Amino acid sequence: MAKTIAEINEKIKTGKAVVFTAEEIIRVAQEKGVKQAAREVDVVTTGTFGIMCSSGAYFNIGHASPRIKLGGGRAYLNDVPAYTGLAAADLFLGANALPDDDPRNRFHPGEFNYGGGHVIEELVAGKDVRLVATAYGTDCYPRKRLETWLNIKDLNEAVLFNIRNAYQNYNVAVNLSDKTIYTYMGMLKPKMGNVNYSSAGQLSPLFNDPFYQTIGIGTRIFLGGGTGFVAWQGTQHNPTVPRTEKGIPKGGAGTLAVIGDLKQMSPKWLVGASVQGYGCSLTVGIGVPIPILNEEILQYTTVTDADIYAQVIDYSDAYPQRRPDTVAEVTYAELKSGKVKIKGKDVPTAARSSYPRAVEIAATLKDWIQTGKFFLTEPVEKLPGAESGVTVKPLRERPIEG
Amino acid sequence: MAVSKKVVLRFPRRMVERPIIYRLAKDYDLEFNILKASITPEQEGLLVLELKGNQAEYDRGIEFLLKAGVQIQSLSQDITRNEERCTQCGACVTVCPTGAFKLDPKTQLVIFNNEKCIGCGLCIPACPPHAMEVHF
């Protein structure tokens, strides 16, 4: 009764594929039982929409006349510096890049109103972006200065390339100190005044395929409102963390590197973000389809928020000092109820990633598959799994003797 | 009939040193709660007040302010959420000191109730996509 991806794609072609979101499948499996559900369901769609800092995009702007070699020079897009360590007409822009004159945290907490993530959003929205570049000039690339408007439709390539997205699980943040702190997990009030978390929980892609049985290199995905692919495991991919009996990692584990054509994406699903006191970033929408090849794969997609545990970490001390201390362990069901009990105290919770938008992504992907617009791919290589021995290592500093 | 309203008052420079709010309390028996004040001598002033009292007295009090040259706006018009920009993340929920943002437990949608908003502005820099707007 095991299905193949090719068989599922045949069903998609004829409009007969049975698709549910990772939220809907919970009820379906309860009603029908896992055995029957696995037989009847072809695909489960997942979704997540949150601030993902290790995001960026590369562009080929086309050659100017006379020619200019951006490589080794300097380039700014709307005053935000882009990376020029590549060839003559290629640029890479990171979501966290800031204009040279941004006050940053000089007056703490800084506002970080505009950075790389905002430039990417504006490009995707079809707005003109100002390029100012300087170069040293060569015999073949004599030009030393270039100022021009760029529009995404005129670029040869505009490619979103995020090296770490869709974390399988994530820290839950509190502040045990006696003053307010501003972190990438948001504003944290003193003495554990609030709890912030950032995961779509039961809808999040890697929670629904915890051992990476179907999601691998080459998996076609919903990315930023268009389609993209899993390019590689993300940086800091850490599959060997402790897991629950059901195989769900209890802390940050797997990650994805993703790639896709920026030209077919939408500013609704790639939103520039300002994180007070921290920096600029990009909010990214990702949805991954999970082919139901057998019962075990379906069983994993029935994960609920009550099955998923996360570690509560003190961001005033343990996190910045890189100490492993954990304040508590909580479930996403507790976090989503609006308050959690930690050390006998009811603490209000807030999400950093958007569950309603994750629902919308999973539903959109479901619709694309049901209407024959989106086909599944067979991964060309698996991601390193729990048995791989791959772990994320902290930096071992080796002082440089003067 | 008793009323309780939040209003934004703008004082022109010539009025900054007159005891306007004292008159509201004394002559119109209005209870006031100052939510935000930025009044500098010799400059324009801005005051966000919650006013409570009898409807008739409230109306007369407002008339007195208008006659005196104070510009008045209802607070709820001044704090808005740009629904196009809002990503429904929830970053505002615990930042707000008055609980003006509530999570729908079923859908996890963030509901903005500007009746509870006191215009403190804490949500403005805390909102990652810059969806919250104050128009003072």
DSSP string over A236-268 = T--TTS-B-TTS-BSSS---EEEEEEGGG--TT
Say if CB A82 and CB A93 are below 8 A apart.
yes
DSSP state of A68: B
Question: To 5 degrees, how large is the angle CA A315–CA A56–CA B84?
Answer: 80
**Contact between chains at A357 and B105 (C-beta distance less than 8 A):** no
Q: Is the pLDDT of residue B47 over 90?
A: no
Complex ipTM value: 0.94
Compute φ and ψ for B21, nearest 5 degrees. Answer: -70, -35
Task: Assign A168 to helix, strand or coil.
Answer: coil
For A137, phi then psi, to 5°, come to: 85, 130
Peptide bond before B12: cis, by omega within 30 degrees of 0? no
Q: Name the DSSP letter for residue B67.
A: H
Contact A114, A95 (CB under 8 A): no
How far does B84 lie from chain A, in Å, by closest CA? 9
Residues from chain B contacting residue A200 (CB–CB below 8 Å): none
Alpha-helical segments (H) within A33-145 = 34-40, 116-124
Residue A176: which of A275, A318, A69 has the closest Cα? Answer: A318
Q: Torsions phi, psi of A143, nearest 5?
A: -75, 145
Q: Rounded to an integer, what is the distance from CA A268 to the centroid of its chain?
A: 15
Residue of B nearest to A193 (CA): B94
Burial (CB < 10 A; 0-12, 13-18, 19+), residue A8, is buried
Residue B81 vs residues A3, A214, A259: alpha-carbon distances, Å: 47, 40, 32
Closest to A48 (Cα-Cα) out of A351, A324, A329: A351
pLDDT attached to residue B48: 87
**CA A197/CA A184 separation, integer angstroms:** 11
Q: Which residue has the higher pLDDT, A368 or B12?
A: A368
**Which pLDDT value is given to residue B135?**
77
pLDDT given at position B104: 93
Instruction: Output the pLDDT for position A1.
Output: 58
Dihedral sign from CA coordinates of A359, A281, A333, B88: negative
Question: Which of A307, A305, A306, A325 is closest to A315 using CA atoms?
Answer: A325
Residues of A tagged active-site: 140
The answer, for A350 touching chain B at a CB cutoff of 8 Å, is: yes
Chain B residues within an 8 Å CB radius of A359: 107
The helix or strand, by DSSP H or E, that contains position B6, with its residue range, turns out to be strand B2-11
β-strands A43-45, A19-21 pairing: parallel
Q: Which residues, 6 or more positions from A232, have their beta carbon under 8 angstroms from its beta carbon? A: A217, A257
Which of A118, A269, A274 is the best residue to mutate to test the B interface, defined by the most B CB atoms within 10 Å of its own CB? Answer: A274
Reduce the DSSP state of residue A19 to 3 states and report it: strand
B136 pLDDT exceeds 70?
no
* Closest Cβ opposite residue A276 in set B93, B103, B125: B125
Which span out of B9-18, B32-41, B119-128 was modeled with the highest average pLDDT?
A: B119-128
* Phi/psi-derived region of residue A205, left when phi > 0, alpha when psi is between -120 and 50, beta in every other case: alpha
Cα end-to-end distance, chain B, whole Å: 30
Neighbours of A128 (CB within 10 A): 14
- pLDDT mean across residues, chain B: 88
3-state secondary structure of A359: helix
**Residue A220 bridge partners (DSSP):** A229
Q: What is the pTM of this model?
A: 0.91
pLDDT in tens, chain A (402 residues): 579 999 999 999 999 999 999 999 999 999 999 999 999 999 999 999 999 999 999 999 999 999 999 999 999 999 999 999 999 999 999 999 999 999 999 999 999 999 999 999 999 999 999 999 999 999 999 999 999 999 999 999 999 999 999 999 999 999 999 999 999 999 999 999 999 999 999 999 999 999 999 999 999 999 999 999 999 999 999 999 999 999 999 999 999 999 999 999 999 999 999 999 999 999 999 999 999 999 999 999 999 999 999 999 999 999 999 999 999 999 999 999 999 999 999 999 999 999 999 999 999 999 999 999 999 999 999 999 999 999 999 999 999 987
Higher pLDDT, B103 or B13: B103
Alpha helices in A24-165 (DSSP H): 24-32, 34-40, 116-124
Query: What is the model's pLDDT at position B77?
Result: 64
pLDDT of residue B76: 65
Q: CB pairs below 8 Å between A and B: how many?
A: 74
> How far is residue A360 CA from its own chain's centroid?
16
Residues A255 and A158: their CA atoms lie apart, in Å, by 23
Cα B44 to Cα A126, A238, A279, B14: the distances in Å are 41, 58, 34, 8
Contact at CB, B91 and A336, closer than 8 angstroms:
no
Region class of A360: left (phi > 0), else alpha (psi between -120 and 50), else beta: alpha
| Cα–Cα separations (whole angstroms), residue B132 to A15, B70, B92, B118 | 42, 27, 9, 14
Paired strand residues for A83: A92
Average pLDDT rounded to a whole number, residues B30-55: 85
A355 with B88: Cβ contact below 8 A: yes
Residues of A in contact with B94 (CB under 8 A): 187, 189, 193-196, 348-350
The residue-averaged pLDDT of B106-114 equals 94
Q: CA-based diameter of chain B, in Å?
A: 53
